[in-house]
Structures are given as structure tokens and as C-alpha cells.
Structure 1
Amino acid sequence: MDPTTRERLMQISTATLCTALFKRGLRNQCIQDVRPLNPGLPNMVGEAFTLRYIPAREDRNGIAVFQNRDHPQRKAVEDCPGGAVLVIDSRKDARAASAGGILVARLMQRGVAGVVTDGGFRDSPDIARYAMPAYHSRPSAPTNLTLHEAIEINGPIGCGDVAVFPGDVVVGDAEGVVVIPAHLADEIAAEATEMTVFEDFVQEKVMEGRSILGLYPPTDERSRSDFAAWRAERGR
């Protein structure tokens, strides 16, 4: 990812990104029904590295599978690049954990930018204290082996009803997680940065008591000229 793009996305809300994507006809880029375990952290920004689960089958998914050093869940944790976001397709099933505190701690120590699952995490109180963003549907104590088999690393997945391809740019904040197609990341980041500046101006004026009519959107010439002056004054 272009470092400038990463820096810009660190300052942009998922709400603004959704609007910028909607302008391009992309309506379904917000991962559904996930929430941050640690909402006080800065934005999560990174390229997607994916892990896909399928339903577990009892003759394949005993506890002994973890003795295999190439087990896909363990290998994904060790192979996910620093600065990337591990995105896990758990089929929106949080009845068994997608991962737990130890594996998420390993991701954090390896410099991974964050982790997202449309299932659940076990050890969620521990993960909530980590200095790495983590998003899930709800806490889930049972091991993933009871319901999920890790089957594929870094292929296309669905997570929370969103198609995620390896290398897509994943952004999370206190509200949720948005997936930006890789080829659009630079232009979305640039446009959303401009949108954020204008929205900050609008928010300030609304808090001063100004009507949104003619201001948001800026259909009045006064709004456009006021914004230009506000922006120049603040060097934005």
C-alpha cells in the first residue's frame, strides 16, 4: 500500500469511506455485524490476508490436527504479513471461536495491523486489552474445531456478507470495518480525505447553530465561500 494512502486512511471514518464507495456504485463494502473489542485504538488499516473456514467434520477435525505445523489456522497466523489485516471467514457462525487470545497475541507481536472475523473470539477479555484492533461478532468460548475447519489461506472469502480478496484494503474504526477494492484504494483515500475536511467544517457550523439547508450539501454560495475561508484559516 502507498504510505500516503495508509496515512490518509488512518484519519478517515468508515462512514465517510462508505459514502465515497457508494458514489462509485459499491453499496456492500461494510462488513456486517462485527464490532471492535478495543474501540479506543486508532484506525485499523492494512491489506487483507485471508483465512477461510468450512463446517467441521468429525473424522477430520479432532484435537490432534493442531500437532500439524502446517495446520491452516496456525500457518495463517505465522504467515500473515506485518502491516496486513487477517480477515477470517467463519460463515457468520460465532458458536465456536475463530481464534483465541494466544493466536491474536502472536499476530500482534508479529506486527499485524488487525484481525477481523464474522464469527467470534475466545479469550475476548484478554484481546480487548491488546494494542491491536480486533473485530468480531460476539465472544465465543468453544474451540474452533467443534464447528469450523480451517481450509484455505489467502484466497477470496466472504466475511460478514462482503467479498474480500487478498490485497483489498481493510479499514476499521470504532463503528465497524470497510473493505476497499485494492485498485480503488488510492483514489478513495484522497477523495475521502477531502470529504472529511468538509464534514469537519459542517460539524463545526452545525454546532454553532447553523441550519443544514444549503450547507450540507453546500448548495448556497455562502456555504462554499465560508468553507474556503475556514479551510484557509486552518491550513487544511
Structure 2
Amino acid sequence: MKFDNPEDIIQLTPQWKGERFENGRPKVPEDVLRRIRKITLEEAWGPLWHRGYKFQFEGDFKIVHPDQVMVGRAVTAVMVPQRPDLHETLLNYGHEQEGRSGFFNQWVIDSLVEDDVVVVDMFDKVHLGTYVGGNLSTAISTRTKRGGAVIWGGIRDNQQVSEIKNINVYYRGSDPTAIGEVTMVGMNVPTRIGKAICLPGDVVLGTPAGVIFIPPHLAELTAVQAEKSQVRDIFGFVRLKEGVYSTAQIDASWTTALWEDFTQWFESDEAAAEYRHLTWETELEEARKNELDGPRSDVRL
């Protein structure tokens, strides 16, 4: 086996058609990451859930900075309890065949680049399961600039880690012991985090409620649908305050007339300026079709 194998990563992520890192990991554009930083957990969850991605969220974490949103591209690792023969084989392979130094967790953190998030299945181990402490969290901060870590296991040096402001860390528990009696069996492979699954290159959105893993091929679509929901809400609040429409009209499928009102507002009002990269032809066409087919109830996703 190879750690961080490009052929495996490309095979695992065939629906991603964009740029990749040298190791094959999907490289979701920085602009999409920037836009995802502005959306809520529920706005990200909806498009995934309704496309069959029902195991992307996990909320059972402690959080170093509970009010701080974290967004980045996943670098994954899978740890298992130590078995001496396997442990020696894999540690030696990494050192001798791949030229890596230090322990398994250092291999992963040494690979990080800007906007990365470490995602580690530590099989919920806290005692002797502290994947990072003050030093490695500082390394994550230096390498990722604004990323962080999601650890289904423990951390140590919480007081030091909490002083690092530009990253966030989601973890299961704290312990003063160092990492031990564990072996890494996969780097940039499918990783289970509680009830969720994460693949290398997923966009990790960490919120006060927990973490959601957005497949790279759905990242821009998720951002677009969230932004459309946001700007429609802004318009709806304005028109409700003006008494132009009822809540029933705003919450139901929009008529062609309402869509035309919205698009005029969208093209001219300053409140919509940051959303003008969005287009609405599909929604307008659907409204026209619905009026021809007859009225129906709908729920916005």
C-alpha cells in the first residue's frame, strides 16, 4: 500500500472535473470556499440531503472556538488501535520508502497547504489519542492560514490551542497524554467521522452546530443554492415590510409576476449587489411552466 496515493484519490473522486493538487486531491477554487464561508449549516445541508447525501453531518463535538466558522479542503487520515506487526510495517514503510519523518500524525500535518482542514478518524480515542497539541496546532495554523482540524478523538494543550485564533479545532475530548498505541492505515482515503463520511478534497464547513462535509463536485452548486436562498430572503423581508405580499405568497412557489418584481429589484437594489453573479433563467422558466400546468404547493430547498 501507499500513503496519499494519487491513483487512489483520483479513482475515489471521479465526479470532480476541476483542478487537482499534485496528489490528485480535488482543489475546489478559493472563490467557492470564500462563498461557502458565508452560508449556514442548514443552507449547506439541504442541497446534499435532497441529492441522497444523507451522512455528511456530525454535530457531537467540542469546539475550540465555538463562534468561529471554519471552511477548508479535507485532508483525511484513518487511525486504528496498534497491532505490533502492522504498526512496524507501516511506520517503516513511511520512513524508508516514502521518506517521511516523525510519527503518523506529523506525516499528515506536514502535507497541509493553505485552506486545508485535517479530518481524522481516531476511533473516538481520547486517552493516548490526542492527535494534536500546542505544537502541531501551531503547525496547522502556519500551513493552512485559516483551516483547522476535525478529530474523532482527543487533543491536548487546550489552553495553548485556544490561543491560536486563525484556525478552529473540532474534537471529542481532552487528555494530558500524548498520542500513542495507534497506527495510521490510510491517508487521504474515505474517513468516517461519527455518523458522517468524508473523502479527500471535500469542503469542510465547521459551524457552532457541528461539521458538514460537502463533496467537491457539489460545492459550487451548494454555494449557489445557498446564495439564492439568502438573496430571495432579503427581497422577501423588504416586500413583507412594505406590505406588498403576504407570507403565503413569499413562502410558496413564486408566480411569474413575483419573479419579475424580484428580478427588477435584484438588478437595481444595492442590497443585491454581492449576489449579481447569480442567474435566474431556470427559476423563471419553471414559474412559467407551473402557471401553464396549474397551481401546486412547493417548498424551497
- Shorter-chain TM range is 0.7 to 0.9
The reply on whether 1:136 has 2:171 as its aligned counterpart is yes
Which position in structure 1 is the counterpart of 2:66?
Answer: 39
SS of the equivalent of 1:126 reads helix
Which position in structure 1 is the counterpart of 2:110?
Answer: 78
Relative to structure 1, the CA distance from residue 56 to residue 10 in structure 2 (aligned partners, 3 Å threshold; closer, same or farther) is: same
Which position in structure 1 is the counterpart of 2:291?
Answer: none
Between 1:151-160 and 1:212-221, the stretch displaced more is 212-221
With the length of structure 1 as denominator, give the TM-score of the two structures: 0.80
1 or 2 for the larger relative contact order (CA 8 Å, sep ≥6)?
A: 1
Deviation at 1:218, TM superposition (A): 5.7
Relative to structure 1, the CA distance from residue 180 to residue 222 in structure 2 (aligned partners, 3 Å threshold; closer, same or farther) is: same
Q: Say which one has the larger Rg.
A: 2
Q: Which amino acid aligns with 2:40?
A: S
Structure 2 gap ranges (5+): 1-27, 96-100, 274-301
Which position in structure 1 is the counterpart of 2:46?
Answer: 19
The reply on whether 1:194 has 2:228 as its aligned counterpart is yes
Are the equivalent residues in 2 in contact too, given 1:39–1:174 (CA < 8 A)? Answer: yes
User: What whole-Å deviation, never above 9, does each CA across 1:92-115 have from its counterpart, x for those lacking one?
Assistant: 333432221211111111225111
CA distance in 2 between counterparts of 1:51 and 1:168 reads: 13
Relative to structure 1, the CA distance from residue 202 to residue 27 in structure 2 (aligned partners, 3 Å threshold; closer, same or farther) is: farther
The reply on whether 1:89 has 2:124 as its aligned counterpart is no
SS of the equivalent of 1:189 reads helix
Q: Which amino acid aligns with 1:74?
A: Q
User: What whole-Å deviation, never above 9, does each CA across 1:193-222 have from its counterpart, x for those lacking one?
Assistant: 2122234556788999x9855544566899
Deviation at 1:224, TM superposition (A): 6.2
SS of the equivalent of 1:52 reads strand
Are the equivalent residues in 2 in contact too, given 1:99–1:122 (CA < 8 A)? Answer: yes
CA distance in 1 between counterparts of 2:262 and 2:107 reads: 51
With the length of structure 2 as denominator, give the TM-score of the two structures: 0.65
CA distance in 2 between counterparts of 1:58 and 1:22 reads: 41
Are the equivalent residues in 2 in contact too, given 1:21–1:27 (CA < 8 A)? Answer: yes
What is the number of equivalent residue pairs in this alignment? 230
Q: Which amino acid aligns with 1:13?
A: T
CA distance in 1 between counterparts of 2:66 and 2:233 reads: 22
- Residue from 78, 86, 92 that aligns with 1:52: 78
Structure 1 gap ranges (5+): none
C-alpha RMSD over aligned residues: 3.3
CA distance in 2 between counterparts of 1:211 and 1:93 reads: 53
